[in-house]
Amino acid sequence: MGSVALAAKITHVPSMYLSELDGPHKGCRKAAIQGHHEISDRCRKLGVDTVVVFDTHWLVNSGYHINNAAHFSGVYTSNELPHFIKNMPYEYDGNPELGRLMAESATKAGVRTRAHSDTTLALEYGTLVPMRYMNEDRRFRVVSVSALCTVHNLEDSGVLGAAFRRAIENDYDGKVAVLASGSLSHRFAQNGQSEGYLHKVWSPFLEEFDHNVVKMWEAGDWATFVGLLPEYATKCHGEGFMHDTAMLLGVLGWDEYKGRAEVITPYFGSSGTGQINAVFPV
């Protein structure tokens, strides 16, 4: 049957797109883009056919949701940061079957999840930015999962991730990569100060705590990390309240996961937030 071939926590900072454009910031996110290329290369070598993205820019206020439309295309401008991402074209193929199987499995596990295949829902930039660098040739089909969950329990997101893996392994015939698309700490620079924080984290406390978290990941200390995750998500302004990370850990085994993270793009500051590309062995 199917398998989860690759799992990763990834950045989607909009300055990656800015980094492409002529101007004072051209090339500023070269390392992050190269990290996405590396993850893409690994997916290709592993025979991945579909990428599932836990997207911390898809806000939902009730339930869990999957965008499993058959096709995505358009021209995207960020309503959050329209001066960073504007008029960015995109086109990808979806995987309605896989999205349906994942939703059914999560709902059966007690976490109500809806898959939307016949929909006008557009992709958010937590999916669009990484796919721009990982999937330019449309090699992979794309399924996007809501991960800016405003009134949800992190434990439920872990159950959701575990149910997704069961669906992939038991009911799907293919290889899947799962990507938690979001930052570590996510306290944006105060308005009027953003230029001075393009490559910085907002505070020494947040940066130090992020580094400690990365050390836990590299050491495989998942029991400690899972234990502090709820407070980390709130006190360190975790993006999407860290639901993308909870989903990823659910896929991998939650606090019983034994793998050690491999950092692909070292931790860096971006507009006040803490960012990384890291692969988690499956």
The pLDDT of residue 28: 92
CATH number at residue 134: 3.40.830.10
Structural domain harbouring 20: 3-279
pLDDT bracket for residue 67 (50, 70, 90): very high
For the record, the structure tokens of 100 come out as: 């349906």
Across 34-72, b (16+ Cβ under 10 Å) vs e yields ebbebbbebbeeeebbbbbbbbbbbebeeebbbbbbeeb
Across the chain, what does the average pLDDT equal?
97
pLDDT bracket for residue 95 (50, 70, 90): very high
20 exposed, middle or buried (CB, 10 Å; 0-12, 13-18, 19+)?
middle
Per-residue pLDDT tens over the stretch 119-170: 999 999 999 999 999 999 999 999 999 999 999 999 999 999 999 999 999 9
Question: Are 125 and 75 contacting, i.e. CB atoms less than 8 angstroms apart?
Answer: no
**pTM recorded for the entire structure:** 0.97
Return all residues near 4 (Cβ < 8 A) that are at least 6 apart.
165, 168, 169, 175, 176, 177, 178, 251, 282
CA angle 10, 13, 17 (to 5 degrees): 115
Domain count, the chain: 1
181 exposed, middle or buried (CB, 10 Å; 0-12, 13-18, 19+)?
buried
Return all residues near 232 (Cβ < 8 A) that are at least 6 apart.
209, 213, 238, 242
User: What distance in Å separates the CA atoms of residue 88 and residue 76, rounded to the nearest whole number?
Assistant: 5
The pLDDT of residue 142: 99
- The answer on pLDDT for 59 being more than 90 is yes
Please state, in angstroms and as integers, the Cα–Cα distance from residue 63 to each residue in 112, 119, 233, 250, 281, following that order. Answer: 6, 17, 19, 17, 29
DSSP-H helix ranges across the chain:
15-18, 30-46, 96-108, 125-134, 154-171, 204-219, 222-235, 243-252
Per-residue pLDDT tens over the stretch 165-182: 999 999 999 999 999 999
Tell me which residue of 248, 220, 67 sits closest to 154, measured CA to CA: 248
pLDDT bracket for residue 194 (50, 70, 90): confident
How many other C-beta atoms can be found within 10 angstroms of the C-beta atom of residue 112? 14
- Average pLDDT of the residues in 22-48: 96
- Average pLDDT of the residues in 241-259: 98
Q: How many CA atoms lie within 13 A of 204 on its CB side?
A: 0
Q: For residue 80, give the 3-state DSSP assignment.
A: coil
Tell me which residue of 50, 73, 49, 68 sits closest to 58, measured CA to CA: 68
pLDDT bracket for residue 1 (50, 70, 90): confident
User: What distance in Å separates the CA atoms of residue 251 and residue 157, rounded to the nearest whole number?
Assistant: 10
- The answer on pLDDT for 18 being more than 90 is no
The pLDDT of residue 21: 87
- Average pLDDT of the residues in 28-57: 98
Q: For residue 258, give the 3-state DSSP assignment.
A: coil
- Average pLDDT of the residues in 236-249: 98
User: What distance in Å separates the CA atoms of residue 242 and residue 123, rounded to the nearest whole number?
Assistant: 19
